[in-house]
Amino acid sequence: MLGAGTVGREVVRAFLDRGDALRSADGAILELAGVAVRDVAKSVRGGIPEALLTDAPAHLVADPDVDIVVEVMGGDEPARTLMHGALSTGKSVVTANKHVLAHHGLDLETTARRTGAALRFEAAVGGGTPVLGALALDLAANRIDAVRGIVNGTTNFILTAMSAEGRAYSDVLADAQRAGYAEADPRGDVEGEDAANKLAVLARQAFGQWLDVRTITRAPELVAGGHGPLGITGVTIEDITAAAAQGLAIKLIATASRDGDTVLAGVLPTAVAFDTPLGRTDGVLNRIEVDGEPVGRVAFAGPGAGGPATSSAVLGDLIAIARGVGSTWAGHPSVPRLLRASRPVSSETFEGPSGLRYPVLR
């Protein structure tokens, strides 16, 4: 294991508390070989046995006794290099790192396919909600036309609180930071980066193509022309109130749909009808909807973040690898190139008093 933060700690706890329950189909037991962390003493104080700990992640990855690498350290480097190193020597990787997947997914997938290693990442989208594996396996017979959803709990918590309490964005954000629902530097969430990363991963499963995450728009249109602030940073309480008067809730919606050979993808503040399941998805819940042929619309909802929920997906991926299920993309054909996403088009829009123009979803 690389990392023992919010998610990693829960995974380690599962191994310590009920390791013999983590068996593969053949009765093989997954054994925790070691945990690489930055500060060994701190992890010992946190209850991880010292014998498991190391501050040398590259050595742990290279250990010939290690078959599977669980990356839950987050961030870009050294996570990317460590995952790449593991896959290139045929070791399977389980990761919750949507940033690395969204930016280097094509490279990691290509490496994994070359060496035959499995790369699993169910935890990268929706926390413990099992949507990525389902897209590649249970829904494999479908042509997926669109995916959409609320995939970032922090922004949905902020928008829900603004709406419920009639308070300004900056006030609610400050509260969310104090309560631990938003980070000290909240840009990754509030500017839509986290949601765009997740959308890129979701699109990989839905459409069999990696999107260039930098081409996923996060800037809402302005009524006056041009583009406004990224993500939810330009959403005002006046916009939320005016939308509510029309039966609409402002939500940060990630959406990707097929359009001929291209994919329309965006992470935009959107006016969603109250009387729809997405419009009623409040607080830190996530909800992801999938439109497929022949299945129609299926939806997945659950806690999109948090250590325990996310550890469920990481542990599920470990069990899947032990059972030989392979990568999260399963039988999807190989991917030749990175696809540029185009901006989604909305037939109906709502003009907020702030001057933002919101797509409407009914």
- Residues contacting residue 270 through CB under 8 Å, at least 6 positions apart: 250, 251, 252, 253, 255, 358, 359, 360, 361
Count other Cβ atoms within 10 Å, centred on residue 296: 9
**Residue 157 in the binding site for its own copies (CB under 8 A):** no
Q: Which of 81, 88, 89, 142 binds its own copies (CB under 8 A)?
A: 142
Among 195, 325, 335, 361, binds its own copies (CB under 8 A): 325
Contact between 244 and 238 under an 8 Å Cβ cutoff? The reply is: no
Judged by beta carbon, residue 236 or residue 276, the one nearer its own copies is 276
In the complex with its own copies, the residue whose CB is nearer, 64 or 331, is 331
Q: Residue 70, interface with its own copies (CB under 8 A)?
A: no
Can you read off the two tokens belonging to residue 69? Answer: 């690498």
Distance of CA 178 to the CA centre of its chain: 23
Residue 302: closest CA among 136, 127, 160: 127
State the nearest-atom distance from the C-beta of 333 to its own copies, in Å: 9
Q: Is 107 exposed, middle or buried (0-12, 13-18, 19+ CB in 10 A)?
A: middle
Q: How far apart are CA 328 and CA 337, in angstroms?
A: 19
How do beta strands 92-95 and 53-54 pair?
Answer: unpaired
Candidate list 117, 158, 250, 315; residue touching its own copies; CB under 8 A: 315
Q: Does 29 bind its own copies (CB under 8 A)?
A: no
Q: Does 3 bind its own copies (CB under 8 A)?
A: no
Tell me: does residue 49 bind its own copies (CB under 8 A): no
Under rule CB under 8 A, residue 250 binds its own copies: no
| 298 touches its own copies by CB under 8 A | yes
Q: Does 122 bind its own copies (CB under 8 A)?
A: yes
Residue closer to its own copies by CB (options 151, 232) is 151
Letter for the amino acid at 185?
D
209 vs 217 by CB, closer to its own copies: 209
The nearest distance, CB 23 to its own copies, in angstroms, is 7
Does 273 bind its own copies (CB under 8 A)? Our answer is no
Please check whether residue 117 is in contact with residue 91, taking contact to mean a CB–CB distance below 8 angstroms.
yes
What is the nearest approach in angstroms of its own copies to the Cβ of residue 94?
A: 12
Integer Cα distance of 71 and 2 in angstroms: 5
Among 16, 41, 56, 140, binds its own copies (CB under 8 A): 140
Question: Is 55 or 293 the residue whose CB approaches its own copies more closely?
Answer: 293
Smallest gap from Cβ 113 to its own copies, in A, equals 11
177 binds its own copies (CB under 8 A): no
Binding-residue total with its own copies (CB under 8 A): 50
Q: Does the footprint of its own copies cover residue 296 (CB under 8 A)? A: yes
Among 60, 318, 321, 356, binds its own copies (CB under 8 A): 318
Angle between helix 98-115 and 79-88 (nearest 10): 10
Residue number, 17 or 185, with CB nearest to its own copies: 17
Distance set, CA 272 to CA 120, 136, 269, 277, 285 (Å): 32, 28, 9, 9, 16
Burial 237-257 (b: 16+ CB within 10 A, else e): bebbebbeeeebbbbbbbbbb
Secondary structure (3-state) at 341: strand
Residues carrying an active site annotation: 198
CB under 8 A: which stretch of 22-30, 174-182, 191-199, 240-248 binds its own copies?
A: 22-30
Contacts with its own copies by CB under 8 A lie at 10, 14, 21-25, 122, 128-130, 133-134, 137-142, 277, 280, 292-303, 306, 308-309, 311-313, 315-316, 318-320, 323-326, 330-331
